[in-house]
A and B are shown apart, each in its own frame.
Chain A
Amino acid sequence: MIGALARMPSTLRTFGGSQVSNLVGLLIVAGALALTLQHVLQHSASFFFQILIIGIADGTIYGLIALGYTMVYGIIELINFAHGDVFTLGGYFSLALFPIFGIAEGKAGFGYVIPLLVVAAITMLLCGVVNVAIERVAYRPLRHAPRLAPLITAIGMSSILEGAMYLWRGPNSLHYPDLLPLTRFNIGPVNIGVKDLIVITFALVLVVVFTLFINLSKLGKAMRATAQDRDAAQLMGIDINRTISATFFIGAALAGAGGITWGLYISSVDPFLGFITGLIAFTAAVFGGIGNIPGAALGGLLIGLIRAFSDSYFDSSWTEVLIFGILIATLVFRPTGLLGMRVPEK
């Protein structure tokens, strides 16, 4: 699997998503949709909407994490396996910060909005710093080494972060305080929680702000330029080391925000949460088109929906098989993902 990932860019060039595999893909998707529809019709509409909302909320969080995978891959062609653990770290950092800002369960209210946002900002900053440090010590010295080398150190960094969280707070799952209001209300057949709305809005706002930043800011353009042609970027006066650091920082900040959102939504975190969540988000990034930023957001949303529907209409024990089946199918049949690259590389 690791070998396959290391070879991925060359696969990207050789496969193009042939007519036949496109057709087969369409048939499979159509079949899956028909089967899902059949199951959906056996249950109530309100159940359907509830699952839909869970899928969207999970999906936007996966999207937040997937953005970091895709950005880092885009700029240095490395799958940062530690990224999922930086996401978990967001949960752990924020848990440690809550008491400092007087935030505790059971007293939720509007007074918490500001402290919660402050905690989120500090957590994002800390996660960013950790990821920049990881790049500096574990990836940059290997930039000219064979591709497999940094991939292996990435797995090593992932274990180190998981081990550090394990030592810090122990092996058990930690309760994350319920800080969001539990009020629910109905719109027609749709029963929706204020919590769902807050989580989805928060994640969406971050994705939108981030997209604007990448497309409009000077640093964002430098990041895209470096991803598209590193030498040419240097010839335009871009400091690529700084740009790569910025990429790791921003990706990690988004993952950290994802960690908080996850904690608030699911109410628990554990040291190994990032392993599986990271793999799912990575799948989302590949599904949407690795290196492609809108693709990561879209892939996250779709994977979130697939997961929610598979969990509730089918059997949750098959969900991971399904998701990693999607990962493998994407790598084999359509390595550029759903959105791929808008223009072929030179």
Chain B
Amino acid sequence: MALLEVSGIDVFYGRVQAVRGASLTVDAGEVVALIGSNGAGKTTTLRTISGLLHPAGGKITFNGKDITRTEPQNIVHLGICQSPEGRRLFARMSVLDNLRMGAYTRKNAVEIKRDMERVFELFPRLKERSNQIAGTLSGGEQQMCAMGRALMAKPKLLMLDEPSLGLAPILVETIFNIVREINAQGTPVLLVEQNAHKALEVAHRGYVLETGVIVQTGTGKELLESEEVQRAYLGM
């Protein structure tokens, strides 16, 4: 049994269907990439897993528990946390308060403090800026803060929506290295990216989403070598 199992979900915005019968799984210890062009339905898929949207059809289970209709706050309690597209920090709160909000569902102050140290080790930059108002951070720092905030939930599954979007190449490199490191420390990651090349390099497995339909799946290496993927997403 996979950790996260999404089976055949249909998601609508009003009458417009954004995701059509998509299925994917994430196993313990994995990094799974979900790639696809702009508007393919990647964000919609993540928002549905997080419970912000509910699918019209299909089923989502996490650790064997049906979460198809579960409310977002309860999904966080169960251990899924995401760093959403566009960072979505609490712009008028300090970096420290943003990180604390990440730990909103947790009680154990000692563990929270320990994880805060861990986040500061992953992102030393955040420690320097911990009292700065989040809205005034640079794009890269905001992304680090958003990832750190999600990590503060101590998720059993971390979902990242376009963490490299709009970042300078050197920062993109840093972000993907940190994804590797987070995974090496034991957290499974579902990674949504338009930067297919980088994402598939990091990922154990990947899925390709096209206009709401999963059209291809395989290991990261297989997808990197696939002709269709190369043509459509790697610009070769």
Contact = CB atoms under 8 A, between A and B. Distances in A.
B92 A234 contact: no
Contact of B72 (A224, A229, A234, A346): A234
A235 B93 contact: no
Given A231-B84, A232-B89, A236-B149, A221 B97 contact: yes
Given A228-B93, A341-B92, A236 B102 contact: yes
B88 A231 contact: yes
A240 B51 CA distance: 13
Interface stretch (B73-81, B172-180, B188-196, B218-226): B73-81
Contact of B88 (A222, A229, A342): A229
Contacts, number: 81
Interface string A201-242: 000000000000000001001101100110111111111100
Contacts of A346: 86, 88, 91, 135
Interface in A185-199: none
A222 B103 CA distance: 11
Interface residues of A, number: 23
A222 B93 CA distance: 11
B104 A344 contact: no
A344 B136 CA distance: 9
Interface string A118-146: 00000000000000000000000000000
Contacts of B136: 343
A315 interface: no
Given A236-B104, A238-B104, A343-B133, A225 B73 contact: no
Contacts of B77: 237
Contact of A228 (B91, B105, B153): B91
B104 A237 contact: yes
Contacts of A342: 92, 133
Interface string B69-113: 001110011000110101011111100010011101100000000
Contacts of A345: 91
B50 interface: yes
Nearest to B98: A225
A228 B90 contact: yes
Interface of B: 50-52, 71-73, 76-77, 81-82, 84, 86, 88-93, 97, 100-102, 104-105, 133, 135-136, 149-150, 153
Closest 10 CB pairs of A and B: A237-B76, A343-B135, A237-B105, A232-B88, A234-B72, A239-B73, A228-B90, A237-B73, A236-B104, A237-B104
Interface of A: 218, 221-222, 224-225, 228-229, 231-240, 341-346
Given A233-B101, A236-B102, A238-B101, 4 more contacts: A224-B93, A235-B52, A237-B153, A343-B133
28 contacts: A218-B104, A221-B101, A225-B90, A225-B93, A228-B91, A229-B89, A229-B91, A231-B52, A231-B84, A234-B51, A234-B73, A235-B50, A235-B52, A236-B76, A236-B101, A236-B102, A236-B105, A236-B149, A237-B81, A237-B104, A237-B153, A238-B73, A240-B73, A341-B92, A342-B92, A343-B92, A346-B86, A346-B91
